[in-house]
Amino acid sequence: MSKNATYLESKGHYQILDGLRGVASLFVVAFHVFETYSGNRFNQIINHGYLAVDFFFVLSGFVVAYAYDDRWGKMTQWDFYKRRLIRLQPMVIAGSVIGALFFYTQSCGAFPLIHDTPVWKMLVMMVVGFTLIPVLPSMDIRGWQEMHPLNGPAWSLFFEYIANILYALVIRKFSKTLLTILVVLSACLLINYTVFGPQGDVIGGWSIDKTQLNIGFTRLLYPFFAGMLLCRMGKLIHIKGAFAVCSLLIIAILCVPRIGGAEHLWMNGLYESFCIIILFPLIVAIGAGGSLKSKASTRICKFIGDLSYPLYITHYPLIYLHIAWVTNNKVPMAQGLLGGLGLFVVSIAIAYGCLKLYDEPFREWLKNRFLLKKA
C-alpha cells in the first residue's frame, strides 16, 4: 500500500518563537528551584516566574492559528485533534511515568499523603495522568490537591487542550471582529481578577475546585486567543536583534520583584495584567517578525526550542524531590542551591533524553501510523 499526499506537512517554524519558549522554560525550572526557599509569594526569588505559563499560552494561540487557520478545507476536526495529540500527548505520558518513578522518594512534611499512599493507588494515578483527565481533591495522593498529583505542571496542558477544543469547535469560525470582542472581554476578566481580586496575581489553576478553575480559565482565555488574534492580524514587528531583545524582556518581566506587597495587592495585579495583555503579545509580535542572522543563534534557538516542552513537562518530579530533601534535612538556601544547580542540569539531561530517545521517534511512528493515509 502506498501513502498518498493527504498528509499535511508541518509548516516552517518561527525560529525565534521556538527559542523564546526555550528561554521561558529554563526560567520556569529556575523559578521552581528558588521557590523551595521563598516561603510565600511575596518573597519568591524570580518572583514572577509563574507568568511564563501565560506567555506559553500566547505563543500557543499564535502557533495554532498559524499552523491550522488556513487548513480547515483540507482536514477534519478529528485530523486536528490527532495532530495535537501526537504533538503533546507522548510527553504527558513521560511526565506521568517520571512522576511515578520518583513519587516515594518525595515523602516529607510538605507532602503528608505520600507515606500512606499504596502502590496500586499511585499506579492508578499514573495511568489517569496518561490521559490528562484531572483528579478531584478527594483523590489526592500528595497533599497539595493538584489535579495531576504526580506531575503538577500538567494542569496547564489540561487547559491547553480545552483551548484547542474550543478553537476546533467554534472559535476557528470567528471573524476578526468577533475574535477581537472575545479577546477584549477576556482581558476585562483578567484585569478584574488580578486588580480587584483577592490575590493580586494569577498564581493558581492546578486544582479542581471553583476558585482554581476560575483562575485557570482566567489565565487561559486572554493569552491564548490574543495570540490567535495577533496571528490573524499579521501585525508583526521587525527589529534587529529580535531574539536578544525578546529574551531580555522575558527575563526582566519574570525577575521583577513583587510590587505593592500585601497592603496593595492591586499594584501587582496591574503589573501582571500589563505584562499579559500588552507585553507578551508585543514580544511575540517582535519574535515572529524577527530573523536570525547567525548559525550559532539558529542552533541555540533550535536546541532550546526543541527542549522547551520536554523540560517543562518532566522537571517537576525533581522539584518535588528537592522540596523533600530541603524539608527533611532543613537545608539552608546557600547550601541547597548547589543541589538546585545539579537538579537544573539533571532536568535538562532528562528532558533531552526523553526528546531524542522517546518523543521524536514515537511521534514519527504515530505520524506514520495515524496521519499518513494509505492509497
Q: DSSP secondary structure string, 182-240?
A: HHHHHHHHHHHHHHHSSSSS-----SSSHHHHHHHHHHHHHHHHHHHHHHHHT-----T
Residue 179 placed within a domain: yes
pTM of the model: 0.95
List own/partner pairs for 293-300 with CB under 8 A and 24 or more apart. Answer: 297/19, 297/243, 298/15, 300/19
Residue 4 placed within a domain: no
End-to-end CA distance of the chain: 6
Residue 10 placed within a domain: no
Report how far residue 140's alpha carbon sits from residue 125's, in angstroms, rounded to the nearest whole number: 9
Grid cell in block for residue 106: 518525595
Residue 6 placed within a domain: no
Residue 79 placed within a domain: yes
Kindly give, in sequence order, each residue whose CB lies less than 8 Å from that of residue 164, ignoring residues fewer than 6 positions away: 64, 80, 81, 84
- Bridge partners, residue 108, by sequence: 111
How buried is residue 364: exposed, middle or buried, by Cβ count under 10 Å (0-12/13-18/19+)?
Answer: exposed
Q: Tens digit of pLDDT per residue, the chain (375 long)?
A: 344 445 677 777 899 999 999 999 999 999 999 999 987 899 999 999 999 999 999 999 999 999 999 999 999 999 999 999 999 999 999 999 999 999 999 999 999 999 999 999 999 999 999 999 999 999 999 999 999 999 999 999 999 999 999 999 999 999 999 999 999 999 999 999 999 999 999 999 999 999 999 999 999 999 999 999 999 999 999 999 999 999 999 999 999 999 999 999 999 999 999 999 999 999 999 999 999 989 999 999 999 999 999 999 999 999 999 999 999 999 999 899 999 999 999 999 999 999 999 999 999 999 999 998 653
Overall number of domains in the chain: 1
Q: Domain containing 312: what range?
A: 15-371
Identity of residue 104:
Y
Q: Is 355 helix (H, G, I), strand (E, B) or coil?
A: helix
Residue 353 placed within a domain: yes
Grid cell in block for residue 85: 495529540
Question: Which pLDDT belongs to residue 282?
Answer: 98
Identity of residue 7:
Y
Question: Which pLDDT belongs to residue 210?
Answer: 96
The answer to whether residues 105 and 208 touch, using CB atoms and an 8 Å cutoff, is: no
> From start to end of 9-102, where are the E strands?
none
Question: Which pLDDT belongs to residue 7?
Answer: 63
The answer to whether residues 61 and 285 touch, using CB atoms and an 8 Å cutoff, is: no
* C-alpha to C-alpha distances, 304 to 299, 300, 312, 351, nearest whole angstrom: 9, 6, 11, 11
Residue 1 placed within a domain: no
Residue 2 placed within a domain: no
Question: Which pLDDT belongs to residue 373?
Answer: 62
Identity of residue 214:
N
